[in-house]
Each structure stands twice: as structure tokens, then as C-alpha cells.
Amino acid sequence: MSKTKPQIQVRELHVAELPKIRHLCEAFWTDAVLAQSWGDKVKAKVFDWDLFIQQTVGMMGAGICTVFALEDDKGQMHGVLVGSAMADYTIGSVIAREHIWFVDRKHRLNALLLLRKFMDWGKGRGADYLCVGSPCNQGAVPRLERLYKKLGFIEWYKLYCKEI
């Protein structure tokens, strides 16, 4: 008898389901440049789950944020995309922005399912643009940049940070 591969789906999570993605958010943090290349300059040494919940729940309540999960048919979460859609007064357009996009290594081939679902969500909220990011000075940046360009993204601006 052959084993069947678990079926993967993307679905929008409700606030009460957010604890199911904690391990993915923490893995995102571990892989992120803030945890790797900024080293001692980062005040938070671990992912601040309480702050994430506070901000995400607030934005979800305002209708400007969503959380999509990549879930198998056994209910296991393997990926997450947290994003928002808001009017940008500087350009006069609604922009859908990805905040967290992480898929565990075993399921990375399904990562675009999350992005497509988020793109549809953003369009449904009137977004004219979809912005994704990649941390600077991280080994995966060239790979991410190739993916973004292949998907039709262009480099729009760079963000510079300074501790104050």
C-alpha cells in the first residue's frame, strides 16, 4: 500500500487560531537578518510573541491585516504569511505589504500559494501594489531577488535604519 502525500491548502486564520503559527513566526525570526547580522544591536533576542499578537490582532480588528497559513490535511501548519493593506498617502494608492512570509524547508515549494492568496486578498481590498521584502546582508537575498524578479517585482526603494 502506498502512502499518499498530505494535501496542502492555504487558508485565512482567525484570531483564536494564531497560536498555531507561533513556531513558524519564531522560525522566521531565527532566519531573519535581525537575528543574524545585526547581532548585539537587536534588543529582542527572541521573537516577541506578545507584541506580535497585540499588533496583529489590532490590525485584524481594523480590517487592514490578514494571516494566511499553509496547512496540511492533518491540521499541521507549515507556512505563514502575515500582511496588511493600507492607503499610502505619499503615492495615493493602497499597498498590500508582506510582514512575515515563512515556510518550513520541507514545504518551500508551496510558498507561492501563500503569496498568491495574499495578492488576491490585497486586490480585494483595493490594493494597486504588492510589496515584499528581503532582509539586507542575508545569504538568501540573491535567491529571493531572483524569485521576486521572476514574479515581476521591481526594486522600489531601500529602507535604512538607525538606532535612536
pLDDT digits over 54-72, tens only?
999 999 999 999 999 999 9
pLDDT for res 30: 77
Q: Is 14 domain-assigned?
A: yes
Q: Angle CA(71)–CA(8)–CA(96) in degrees, nearest 5?
A: 65
CATH at 75: 3.40.630.30
What angle do the packed helices 22-31 and 49-61 form, to 10 degrees? 110
Q: Which domain holds residue 92?
A: 8-132
Q: Is 139 domain-assigned?
A: no
Q: Is 145 domain-assigned?
A: no
Q: Is 140 domain-assigned?
A: no
63 versus 30: the higher-pLDDT residue is 63
Number of domains within the chain: 1
Q: Is 121 domain-assigned?
A: yes
Q: Is 92 domain-assigned?
A: yes
